[in-house]
């Protein structure tokens, strides 16, 4: 029997959402089906799980990969590849991210990124959204250019960095269809800087330390790198990079430590009400003392730039440590959209205030970790 189910919107209410649909079961008479969802009285509640938080911290090293939507191409011409690389570098310079290696493919991109400020998501959003706007405008396209959320693996430097550099720079040799690889892939990969091309001044500090992994003398290091790359064509140890479920690569101790931290981050979303109240009181009191103002000043309707920056720093640290927009909105007597805007603008407008409040929280409450500040 071929079931044909058609669900049509029926009505929407503030507390209960109802749907009516027509259920056709072969030769049976169509019947009306009404389902209440998100109702306290419903025996079967529909729920949606948000994406788990990405593990971000200062000094983290990632293997990042972004694929074109439906595995379609993200670059066609020399200009596309050049702009893709230029935008990646521009976003890194603006966000403080350090690009260690990269290799563009016709329908995806591999990069190795280190984040001194723990802001990989901000970097990727700035880079990919800017390039997607360029691509859609150039080719008169609409919709998403990249497929879903970008992929990332957290990497232990000591165990995997050299092998990962080799893995990224040898992408061409692992393509399923070598004929599909453009000549521009090598032209705009970081491999050219490893083998001798002069790095632009703004990225030299990112690449040269990676070259020196292969030797102290720069010329000998380049030769060692070339030899290491050649050995990897037949003997490279890349099995770990193909494991789709492994988002942390490193020694057992490193993986265990990162898993514990990740679990704390995921748990930070479910802070009990009484605990959130305590955290809010502490956050507001410490912020007021650190900035030399009163809590009433922070809650006031003042649009003074200095006070606004104080509020942005409070919202930034609140969200970083498991509080949501509703919690912060109540404490600051602002709307939730206003809090969301403050979080978004905090790093751009109030970096000094963020650093000052971070130090004050550390001095008053110890290590800054989710659920505990």
Q: Which of 25, 52, 39, 10 lies closest to 268, judged by CA?
A: 52
What average pLDDT does range 122-140 have in this prediction? 95
129-133, 171-175, 182-186, 261-265: which range is least confident on average? 261-265
pLDDT digits (tens, 9 = 90+) for 203-252: 999 999 999 999 999 999 999 999 999 888 776 555 656 554 568 888 88
Farthest-apart Cα atoms in the chain, separation: 82
- Of the two residues 113 and 55, the one the predictor is more confident about is 113
Task: Please provide the average confidence, as pLDDT, over all residues in the chain.
Answer: 79
60-263 CATH fold: Alpha-Beta Plaits (3.30.70)
- Give me the pLDDT at residue 258, please: 80
Q: What percent of the chain has pLDDT over 90?
A: 45
- Of the two residues 185 and 269, the one the predictor is more confident about is 185
CATH annotation of 271-365: 1.10.1750.10
Q: Is residue 4's pLDDT more than 60?
A: no
| Cα–Cα separations (whole angstroms), residue 44 to 33, 35, 47, 292 | 15, 10, 10, 52
Q: Is residue 149's pLDDT more than 50?
A: yes
Task: Please check whether residue 211 is in contact with residue 221, taking contact to mean a CB–CB distance below 8 angstroms.
Answer: yes
Q: Is residue 330's pLDDT more than 80?
A: yes
Classify burial at 34, counting beta carbons within 10 Å of its beta carbon; exposed 0-12, middle 13-18, buried 19 or more.
exposed
Q: Tokens for 258? A: 């990162």
CA distance 329 to 314: 11
| Cα–Cα separations (whole angstroms), residue 302 to 115, 183, 239, 336 | 35, 58, 58, 17
CA distance 253 to 264: 17
What average pLDDT does range 68-72 have in this prediction? 91
Output 303-308 pairs: Cβ under 8 A, ≥24 positions apart. 308/342, 308/349
CA 14 centroid distance within chain: 33
Place of tokens 């071929």: 2
- Give me the pLDDT at residue 370, please: 39
CA distance 184 to 236: 24
- Give me the pLDDT at residue 276, please: 73
What average pLDDT does range 84-96 have in this prediction? 94
Task: Please check whether residue 160 is in contact with residue 168, taking contact to mean a CB–CB distance below 8 angstroms.
Answer: no
pLDDT digits (tens, 9 = 90+) for 164-199: 999 999 888 777 666 667 788 889 999 999 999 999
pLDDT digits (tens, 9 = 90+) for 349-363: 899 999 899 888 888
Q: Tally DSSP H helices, then E strands, for the chain.
A: 14, 8
The residue ranges of every structural domain in the chain are 3-37, 60-263, 271-365
- For 200, which DSSP code? P
Q: Tokens for 124? A: 């990727």
| Cα–Cα separations (whole angstroms), residue 293 to 284, 285, 290, 306, 325 | 11, 10, 8, 11, 22
- H-type helices in the chain, by residue range? 78-95, 120-138, 157-169, 184-187, 191-194, 201-211, 218-235, 252-267, 273-291, 295-299, 305-320, 325-332, 336-349, 351-365
pLDDT digits (tens, 9 = 90+) for 302-313: 889 999 999 999
Task: Please check whether residue 169 is in contact with residue 214, taking contact to mean a CB–CB distance below 8 angstroms.
Answer: no
What average pLDDT does range 122-136 have in this prediction? 95
The pTM assigned to this predicted structure is: 0.60
Q: Which residues of 254-293 are buried (b: 16+ CB within 10 A; e: fewer)?
A: bbeebeebbeebeebeebeeeebeebbeebbebbbebbeb
Q: Is residue 125's pLDDT more than 80?
A: yes
Place of tokens 């595995």: 71
* Distance from the first to the final alpha carbon of the chain: 57
List the strands of the sheet with 17-25, edge to edge.
3-12, 17-25, 31-37
- Give me the pLDDT at residue 373, please: 39
């Amino acid at each position: 029997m071929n079931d044909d189910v058609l669900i049509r919107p029926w009505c929407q209410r503030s507390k209960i959402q109802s749907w009516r649909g027509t259920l056709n079961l072969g030769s049976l008479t169509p019947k009306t089906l009404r389902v209440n969802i998100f109702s306290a009285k419903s025996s079967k509640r529909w729920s949606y799980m948000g994406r788990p938080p990405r593990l971000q911290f200062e000094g983290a090293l990632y293997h990042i990969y972004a694929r074109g939507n439906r595995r379609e191409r993200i670059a066609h011409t020399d200009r596309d590849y050049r702009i893709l690389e230029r935008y990646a570098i521009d976003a890194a310079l603006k966000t403080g991210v350090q690009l260690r290696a990269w290799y563009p493919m016709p329908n995806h991109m591999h990069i190795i990124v280190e984040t001194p400020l723990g802001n990989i998501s901000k970097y990727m959003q700035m880079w990919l959204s800017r390039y997607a706007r360029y691509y859609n405008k150039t080719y008169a396209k609409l919709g998403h250019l990249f497929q879903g959320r970008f992929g990332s693996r957290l990497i232990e430097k000591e165990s995997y960095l050299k092998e990962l550099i080799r893995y990224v720079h040898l992408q061409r040799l692992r393509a399923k269809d070598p004929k599909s690889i453009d000549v521009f892939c090598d032209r705009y990969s970081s491999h050219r800087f490893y083998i001798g091309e002069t790095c632009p001044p703004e990225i030299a500090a990112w690449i040269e330390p990676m070259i020196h992994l292969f030797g102290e003398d720069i010329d000998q290091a380049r030769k060692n790198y070339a030899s290491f790359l050649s050995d990897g064509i037949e003997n490279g140890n890349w099995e770990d990079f193909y494991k789709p479920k492994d988002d942390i690569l490193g020694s057992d101790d490193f993986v265990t430590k990162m898993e514990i931290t990740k679990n704390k981050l995921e748990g930070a979303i479910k802070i009990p009400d009484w605990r959130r109240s305590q955290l809010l009181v502490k956050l507001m009191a410490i912020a007021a003392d650190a900035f030399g103002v009163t809590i009433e000043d922070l809650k006031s309707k003042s649009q003074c730039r200095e006070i606004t920056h104080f509020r942005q720093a409070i919202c930034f640290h609140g969200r970083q440590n498991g509080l949501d927009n509703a919690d912060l909105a109540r404490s600051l007597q602002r709307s939730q959209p206003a809090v969301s805007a403050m979080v978004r603008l905090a790093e751009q407008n109030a970096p000094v205030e963020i650093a000052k409040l971070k130090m004050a929280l550390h001095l008053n409450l110890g290590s800054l970790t989710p659920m505990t500040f």
